[in-house]
Amino acid sequence: MSTTFLPCGTYHEYYAEDHGWWQTKFIKAKMALLFIVLFIGIPLVADEYWLSVCNTVGYTILGALGVQLLIGFCGQVTLGHAAFLAVGAYTSTLLILEFPWPQFLINAGLAYPISIFIAAIVAGIMSVLFGLPSARVKGFYLILTTMAAQFIIVDFLITQYVSQIGGRGQAFSLPPGTIKVGPWVIDSDLKVYFMMLVLVIISIIIMINLLRSRVGRAWVAIRDNDISAEVMGINVVKYKMLAFFVAGFIGGIAGAFWISNLAAISPEHFPWVWSLWLVGVILIGGVGSIHGTVFGSIFMVVVMEVLQLIIMQLLDMGFVWAEPLFMDFLFIKEAAFGLVICGFMIFEPNGLAYRWWQAKNYFNLWPFSY
Amino acid sequence: MQHADNMHVNDKEIPKELTIPKLFYEKANSYGSQKVAMREKEFGIWRPITWQQYFDNVKHIALGLVSLGLEDGDKVSMIGDNRPEGLWAEMAALCARGTGVWLFQDSLIDEVKYIVDHSDTKFLFGEGQEEVDKALSIYNECPKLQKIIWDDPKGMRNYHQDYLISLKELIARGQDLDQQQPNLFKDLVYKGHGDEVALLFYTSGTTSLPKGALLSHHNMLTMGKHLMMVDPCHANDDYVSYLPFAWIGEQMMSISCGLQIGYTINFPEEPETSQENIREIGPHVMFAPPRMYEQMTRSVQVKYLDATWSKRKFYELASKIGYHVADLRFNKKPVSFHWKVLEWFAYAMVQKKLKDHLGLSRVRNAYTGGAAMGPDHFRFFHAMGVNLKQIYGQTEVAGISVVHRKGDIKFDTVGKPIPGTDVKITEDGEIITRSPSVFLGYYKNEEATQEALRDGWLHSDDKGFIDDDGHLVVFDRTKDVFTLRDGRPFSPQYLETRLKFSPYIKDSWVIGDKRDYISAVLCIDYSVVGKWADEKKLNYTSYPELSQMPEVYDLVQKQIKQANQDLPEAARIHKFTNLYKELDPDDDELTRTRKLRRKFVEKRYEDIVNALYADNDTVHIDTTIKYEDGREAHIKTDLSIRMLEN
């Protein structure tokens, strides 16, 4: 794409080439290396603990992609995205537990993959439903209407009604062996890790392809100025709804994926704070950047893990005062989150993606500075 | 197929019957839709035009011209930026057995009128509204001019003159004629002979009115062939056409070489984006006047000054290595192993990226010609690893006659004659040339023709000699070799190019013929000095004001001191002043190819010259300047004069 620095002698005769992926050998080699690290390097090196950290990163990426799409590319501020993750997770769980699947589908291990897809669609539709007010309201008002999704879906519908299905009480437990993809029963962090990689890659491909097409350009036009977008002939409401659908769709994938990592799901897995957290991820990563979503997710998850490790280290070293920190880590985590957001807003308002871009430019512009 | 083409060019002499249209016809039919003939950058992509499309357009334009009444030998003029349509029009004019005449895009109305009138132009191709306006204002004064053809519809809605016709309409007329007489185009093309006039080329002329040189098909084709015998090009090379077609160098590359070898000609989006567009394409071969290379040097120097410390250090190290190795090669000394390792290091660390930024990554041969280039610039490019070569030529030999050979480059010479060309020095020291590319004569100027062509030798009016290695050394134009009052000679052009190596100085004019000392009038580079002033927090509002600031004088003085270093006492600059404006071809101070018109500026700035040789600190200026559209502005200012202690 035009944002990439291309070496001298690289030119395009057609728009398809102009928008092509990985246009130079250097980028191809770089991406090959990345895939080797992801598919071979990390599984070989990482232990169970770090694999689970990676899985959390992947879950955060899947969740944040939708938020990035809405806020970063379409300019629709959302603070209720966790609700659609919940819709995805519950749809998938209910389908697995309650739906009368034909035996051959269960044997083939297709029940869970199909449920992911259906969950994504259901979440997408719910997202559109709660996105409808965006046709009328903007900014702060939209924040409030999206927050309504959280309260109506999670706190009301799921807690009060959906959770009662099957008479299990609050939590749905997922018996071992029910989460099966093809011949593989997803029962270890390593298997979850590979599933996460595949889903993250598919979701990112969907996002990038949408963004470099007419749809993506329409979204960006709406983000930059919805009135001029409309004047240019873009059906603003239609594209806003499409943005909500795709965001909900990817959110549904995220939720449906996450149940593979859990023994049981309950509404507490999808608190309102998680919506806020996802917004924080894209602010830190960089608004309006796919790279930023990934960087932000890695940063937020890994920083919190490292913080926890430091506190544990302090305990091991015999600092008694660290004990309450450890006990109340959940609150420490939220305090740290607040601080990090403040710090980023002040010192790095363009996010990590901008740093990355600058670092690349340092070498692209070598031996000059512009 | 590509290989076969190379053989075709390299092995056979060009038969006398071959014409540019015949070659075009053969090439287009053998390549067809398989190969891209040209590309134009439009809306962000390089829109390809295959040989088939090229052929169809040329055919229809040519037949359109015939339907309008073009007859053998009629003149067709073209004016506009470098665009595929320009080349089509030229090729169509040749195919229809007309003669092509190119005008500089930024020509003033008087110049357009002179050339259109003098050449007896019957049809004029103008790119868009701007060119059409120029043509309209001279239409009544040029009785031979019949039709004006325009192409870009922007702003053309309210033009209804019946002698205006759009390119689209012309093509439609051509298509009609093609349907009625399907063999007409081929017949026209094959009627031609190599000795017929192909182009009427107006020389820029530093001294007098432009003269129209008549160039035959054979002239043009042999020129391209002989140049490519020295430095072969390939069919899958890329070339960027961004210099005016009215400059013979561009014709040589686009037509003489381009058509024979069939490389792809790329046209930039706009003249302003050409540097960026060149970087995208990364041409394999380049030919540009020194000014372009000076511009590149300047941009590198300025960016270097603005780079961070660590980057600067890397650059300095790499250029030190580069200069050392380049000097070894210039002196034909062996490059030892450890210097080769260092050279590789410099290449990997800096020069590779540097060439990438300048769009020179893929350049096999870069040529400079048309004016003198300073050794500083020349060494600069070789230190970067760019194979820059001097060439010497003129419109009257359809391009060039002398060029550097690979590994045999001396920056004070212009190289050895190309195959088929004899170069001799007369007893007076004048350079004379004989080759199949020597022109037919000047149009409607028998006297000048006899002056230039004697016994088949082209007299160039340039002085020079052939050195011990067989290289031709060209002195500056005869009138430009100056002597001080005490008889010590100096070369003003050498000093001027030396001064221009400073990024802050865009143009320089050295005075001192029959005077007591040498002085200089300088034009600062507005953007570079402006940026420098911004960083120093100096306030200025315009070029005249900036140029007269004492701080800028200090800066320029430092640059002159640097240029004065290691020069003999007699050749040093003693006094200088900054001009209140940049030298400009629109004011007739430079030729269209941007050579200084010394006589003219001396007259125009007589006050300044006098003040430089009097005891004045300032000189008062009261003058008018002319804009391209004919408007004039009045300027009143004081220029300060500064003396250097040498």
The CATH number for B344's domain is: 3.40.50.12780
Say if the Cβ atoms of B307 and A368 lie within 8 Å: yes
Separation in Å, CA B126 to CA B39, B167, B307, B631: 20, 10, 44, 22
Q: Is A214 on the interface with B (CB under 8 A)?
A: no
CB atoms within 10 A of CB B427: 5
pLDDT of amino acid B5 = 39
B446 found inside a domain: yes
A324 touches chain B (CB under 8 A): no
> A16 CB near a chain B CB, below 8 Å?
no
CB contact under 8 A, A8 and B46: no
**CB-count exposure of residue A92 (10 Å: 0-12, 13-18, 19+):** buried
In B, which residues are within 8 Å of A368 by CB distance?
Answer: 303-304, 306-307, 311, 357
Q: What's the confidence (pLDDT) of residue B628?
A: 63
| Length of chain B counted residue by residue | 646
Per-residue burial over B449-487, b if 16 or more Cβ lie within 10 Å, else e, is: beebbeeebbbbebbbebeeeebbbbbbbeebebebeee
- Of B440, B475, B510, which residue is a domain's last? B475
DSSP assignments along B386-409, one per residue = --EEEEEEEGGGTEEEEEPBTTB-
Same domain, B514 and B563: yes
SS (H, E, C) B327-372: HHHHCCCCCCHHHHHHHHHHHHHHHHHHHHHHCCCCCCEEEECCCC
CA B178 to chain centre: 37
Q: Residue B361's closest chain A neighbor by CA?
A: A8
Q: Which of A366, A369, A370 should we substitute to test contact with B (largest number of B Cβ atoms within 10 Å)?
A: A366
Q: Are residues B504 and B582 in the same domain?
A: yes
Residues of A in contact with B45 (CB under 8 A): 12-15, 17-18
Find out whether B590 and B515 touch, Cβ atoms under 8 Å: no
| Predicted complex ipTM exceeds 0.90 | no
- For residue B172 the two structure tokens come to 């439609």
Which residue type, as a one-letter code, is found at position B123? F
**A20 close to B (CB below 8 A):** no
Residues B318 and B429 in one domain: yes
Please indicate if any CB of chain A lies within 8 Å of the CB of B353: yes
> Beta strands B164-166 and B147-150: pairing type?
parallel
Q: Could you tell me if residue B281 is inside a domain?
A: no
Per the CB < 8 Å rule, is B307 touching A367? yes
Bond preceding residue A175 cis, omega within 30 of 0: no
Query: Which of B315, B350, B356 is the closest to A8 by Cβ?
Result: B356
Q: Is residue A219 part of a domain?
A: yes
What predicted TM-score, i.e. pTM, was given to this entire model? Answer: 0.87
b/e per residue, B90-108, with b = 16+ CB within 10 A?
A: bbbbbbbbbbbbbbbbbbb
**Across the interface, which of A6, A11, A370 has its CB nearest the CB of B306?**
A370
Classify residue A369: in a domain, yes or no. Answer: no
The DSSP line for B25-57 is: HHHHHHHGGGSEEEEEEETTEEEEEEHHHHHHH
β-pair partners for B340: none
Q: Is the CB of B280 less than 8 angstroms away from the CB of A11?
A: yes
pLDDT value for B49:
97
d(CA B319, CA B346): 8
Q: B38: which strand partners?
A: B49, B265
Are residues B126 and B247 both part of a single domain? yes
Alpha helices in B470-537 (DSSP H): 492-500, 526-535
Flag whether A6 is in a domain: no
**Alpha-carbon span A259 to A92, nearest angstrom:** 8
Confidence tier at A354 by pLDDT (50, 70, 90): very high
Residue B281 and residue A367: Cβ atoms within 8 Å? no
B99 occurs within a structural domain:
yes
Q: What is the CATH number of the domain that holds B572?
A: 3.30.300.30
Inter-chain contact A11–B46, Cβ cutoff 8 Å? yes
Interchain pair B311, A367: CB under 8 A: yes
Residue A221 Cα, gap to closest chain B Cα (Å):
19
Check CB contact under 8 Å for B307 and A15.
no
- Helix, strand, or coil (residue B622): strand
Q: What is the DSSP letter of B596?
A: B
- Asked if B628 is an interface residue toward chain A (Cβ–Cβ < 8 A), one would say no
Chains A, B: CB contacts under 8 A, how many? 68
Q: Is A13 on the interface with B (CB under 8 A)?
A: yes
What residues are paired with B507 via a beta bridge? B523
User: How far is it, in rounded angstroms, from Cα B632 to Cα B280?
Assistant: 39
B328 and B371 belong to one structural domain? yes
SS3 A62: helix
Question: CA A214: distance to chain centroid?
Answer: 23
Nearest to B45 among A10, A18, A369 (CB): A18
Q: What does DSSP say about strands B457-466 and B472-474: parallel, antiparallel, or unpaired?
A: antiparallel
Distance CA A203, CA A254 (A): 10
For chain B, the distance separating the N- and C-terminal CA atoms, rounded to the nearest angstrom, is: 64
Helix, strand or coil, per DSSP, at residue A347: helix
Which of A10, A14, A365 is opposite residue B280, by nearest beta carbon?
Answer: A10
Helices (H) and strands (E) in chain A, counts: 17, 4
Whether residue B471 is found in the same domain as residue B483: no
The boundaries of the domain holding residue B634 are 479-643
Q: Is residue B534 part of a domain?
A: yes
Q: Which residues of A touch B361 (CB under 8 A)?
A: 7-9
Cα–Cα distance for residue pair B248/B256, rounded to 1 Å? 10
Contact A367 B45 (CB under 8 A): no
User: Domain residues for A226?
Assistant: 46-364
Q: A194-245: per-residue pLDDT in tens?
A: 999 999 999 999 999 999 999 999 999 999 999 999 999 999 999 999 999 9
List chain A residues with CB under 8 Å of B311: 366-369
φ and ψ at residue A264, rounded to 5 degrees: -150, 150
**Of the residues B444, B475, B506, which one is the last residue of a structural domain?**
B475
In a domain, A2, yes or no: no
- Ranges of residues in chain B with a pLDDT under 70 are 1-12, 204-208, 476-480, 626-630, 646
Whether A366 and B48 lie within 8 Å, measured CB to CB: no
Structure tokens at A11: 């030119």
As for how many domains chain A has, the answer is: 1
Please check whether residues B372 and B514 belong to one and the same domain.
no
Task: State the distance between the two ends of chain A, measured CA to CA, in whole angstroms.
Answer: 20
pLDDT of the residue at A1? 36
Q: Which residues of A touch B355 (CB under 8 A)?
A: 8
Asked whether B122 and B96 are in contact (CB, 8 A), the reply is no
B642 has a chain A CB within 8 A of its CB: no
**Is A14 near chain B, with CB under 8 Å?**
yes
Residues in Cβ contact with A361 at an 8 Å cutoff, skipping those fewer than 6 apart: A5
Give the C-alpha separation, A84 to A100, whole Å. 24
Q: B357 CB near a chain A CB, below 8 Å?
A: yes
Classify residue A11: in a domain, yes or no.
Answer: no
| Residue in A12, A367, A368 nearest the CB of B45 | A12
Flag whether A28 is in a domain.
no
Q: Is the same domain home to B207 and B60? A: yes
Could you tell me if B412 and B530 lie in one domain? no
B175 and B263 share one domain:
yes
Helix (H, G, I), strand (E, B) or coil at A133: helix
A8 reaches B (C-beta below 8 A): yes
Write the CATH number for B181.
3.40.50.980
Nearest by CB to B311, from A6, A15, A366: name it: A366
In a domain, A101, yes or no: yes
For residue B72, give every residue at least 6 positions away whose Cβ sits within 8 Å of its Cβ, in sequence order, or none: B97, B98
Q: Which of B460, B475, B490 is the last residue of a domain?
A: B475
Burial of A175 (0-12, 13-18, 19+ CB in 10 A): exposed
Query: Whole-angstrom Cα distance, residue B96 to residue B103?
Result: 20
Does residue B283 lie in a domain region?
no
Q: Which of B585, B583, B477, B584 is nearest to B204 (CA)?
A: B585
Total tally of structural domains belonging to chain B: 3
Residues 38-77 of B with CB under 8 A from A: 39, 44-48
Residues B470 and B523 both lie in one domain: no
Q: Is B345 on the interface with A (CB under 8 A)?
A: no
Percent with pLDDT over 70 in chain A: 99
pLDDT score of B3: 38
Burial category of B288 from C-beta neighbours within 10 Å (exposed 0-12, middle 13-18, buried 19 and up): buried
Residue of A nearest to B358 (CA): A8
B347-383 pLDDT, tens digit each: 999 999 999 999 999 999 999 987 778 888 999 999 9
Q: Are residues B488 and B379 in the same domain?
A: no
| Residue of B274, B298, B311, B355 to mutate, interface with A, max A Cβ within 10 Å | B311
Would you call A367 and B356 a contact, using CB atoms and an 8 Å cutoff? Answer: no
**Residues of A in Cβ contact (< 8 Å) with B264:** none
Cβ-nearest to B281 among A9, A18, A370: A9
Q: Judge: A366–B353 Cβ closer than 8 Å, yes or no.
A: yes
B residues 479-538 closer than 8 Å to A (CB): none
Per-residue pLDDT at B349: 93
Residue numbers in A near B350 (CB within 8 A): 366-367
Closest Cα of chain A to B69: distance in Å? Answer: 38
For residue B467, give how far its alpha carbon lies from the nearest alpha carbon of chain A (Å).
39
Q: Are strands B147-150 and B121-126 parallel, antiparallel or unpaired?
A: parallel
CB contact under 8 Å between A11 and B281, yes or no, is yes
Mean pLDDT confidence for A47-57: 94
What does the block give as tokens for A27?
């980028």
Residue of chain A nearest B300, judged by CA positions: A368
Return phi, psi of residue B111, to 5°.
-65, -45
Query: Closest by alpha carbon to A248, among A82, A56, A57, A72?
Result: A82
- Distances from the Cα of B460 to the Cα of B2, B404, B427, B451, angstroms: 37, 19, 14, 10
In a domain, A336, yes or no: yes
Q: Does the structure show a pLDDT above 70 at A29?
A: yes
